[in-house]
A = this chain, B = another copy of it.
């Protein structure tokens, strides 16, 4: 007989004479003549309770069972007399699938620190918190695909291994098939030239936007930055939509619609799992998320943002002046204190932005935008792209980029160029937003950071 997932059993509309449940034992309580098992199979946050009588076979099985063991219970699904649960299993058969030695099993029933759980990242999804995290992570990824598919965006897999450094967005990892310490030159390497791990799929995605219209990427990106902070990892997933025939306002519209859609989707589809985070991780989680949904995001030109920051009755660590890049303290002040909601800052000075952003008519700002959200800071960064060949070439020259390295990118401006815009959103940042988890290491299956490559 096929197993029934616990989530489905708990949602049953009536009792069932025959049911097979397989899962891991969270607790075992023995009583006179029978025992209670709390079982979880990962399908949802809530356990199902199984009550088994002490027949000789079942007693033999129970003797081998402790927290963490995997079992198969056969029996009936019946109404539970206990409170807080509608259904329980009246067990007739109990089979031990895998024992868990109680002396060495590291996940005994008690609260463990996040730091400790990182050292057993292969087991932490068996805890309530990390089970919930990875179910939400999965649902968030599904929601992203659904959002874009419903809007007619095409999903593009841009290359992971790249020969172009995109935008100088950060330090890159090298990829090689040469032996360590080899003094062979790059033309003897696998690709016949230096190869890196991508920091962004944008330039490739632009080629597809200028062919298929609306596209997006959703894939891993990499930074070889030696920073050990709660916000940085070497490998993370990024979503990068790119729209043809779109400008900066369209871009901000899309980002706002997407963020609101994702928050709504998670609240609607993961209520139990989100509750856990609202209860145990971030007491402000629900108000934070409701605030995001409530009103239109603020749209604030960079130049006005600088004025606000200059006039703020607040000491900033980094002094405020036009032309500087906003620091996290500035970003958080704007969205958490000044406007108390998500803020798009747009039209940044060109000198602090990459070459591909579209020059505004003032000649000193570009059509860039960052979306700042409470607690996270920058969640989205994007721009209208420079579609005018002569302007793009001039910017590349100013920034000392070599035309020949970008021949294909420039081709898109030579042949049927069109206004287009797009942005990038760090998937893990969005996940931190919807769960209230403060350390990026705790929203990924197996995080990669300096000196940490376990699992």
Contact = CB atoms under 8 A, between A and B. Distances in A.
Lowest 7 CB-CB distances: which A-B pairs, in order? A98-B417, A42-B212, A125-B211, A191-B453, A138-B154, A192-B451, A163-B453
Size class of the A contact interface (CB-based, 8 Å): 35 or more
B408 A160 contact: no
Interface in A177-194: 177-178, 180-183, 186, 190-194
A425 interface: no
A352 B219 CA distance: 33
Contacts of A135: 154, 212
Interface string A150-167: 001011111111111000
B204 A418 contact: no
Contact of A70 (B194, B208, B222, B416): B416
Nearest to A6: B213
B183 A174 contact: no
Nearest to A72: B245
Contact of A142 (B42, B123, B145): B145
A134 B101 CA distance: 51
A411 B175 CA distance: 31
A316 to B, nearest CB: 32
A24 interface: yes
Interface stretch (A277-285, A287-295, A440-448): A440-448
Given A224-B190, A415-B101, A445-B156, A244 B22 contact: yes
A387 interface: yes
B416 A226 contact: no
B175 A197 contact: yes
A134 B156 contact: yes
B174 A175 contact: yes
A436 to B, nearest CB: 20
B183 A446 contact: no
A183 B430 CA distance: 40
Contact of A160 (B160, B183, B190): B160
A444 B152 CA distance: 20
A145 B144 CA distance: 11
A231 interface: no
B41 A222 contact: no
A211 B45 CA distance: 12
A328 interface: no
A195 interface: yes
A299 interface: no
A235 interface: yes
20 contacts: A42-B154, A42-B244, A68-B416, A72-B245, A97-B416, A98-B413, A98-B417, A100-B414, A122-B411, A125-B207, A125-B211, A142-B145, A142-B155, A161-B197, A161-B222, A161-B234, A176-B176, A180-B186, A190-B450, A204-B446
Contacts of A162: 453
A293 to B, nearest CB: 23
Interface string A406-429: 001101111111110000000000
A220 interface: yes
A184 to B, nearest CB: 8
Nearest to A105: B415
A161 B68 contact: no
Contacts of A183: 181
Residue among A69, A125, A192, A211 having the largest count of chain B Cβ atoms under 10 Å: A211
Interface string A95-124: 001111100111100000000000011110
Contacts of A445: 156-159, 204, 208
Given A101-B414, A174-B175, A450-B191, A154 B134 contact: yes
B173 A175 contact: yes
B220 A97 contact: no
A234 B160 CA distance: 11
A104 B414 contact: yes
Nearest to A203: B455
A36 interface: no
A349 interface: no
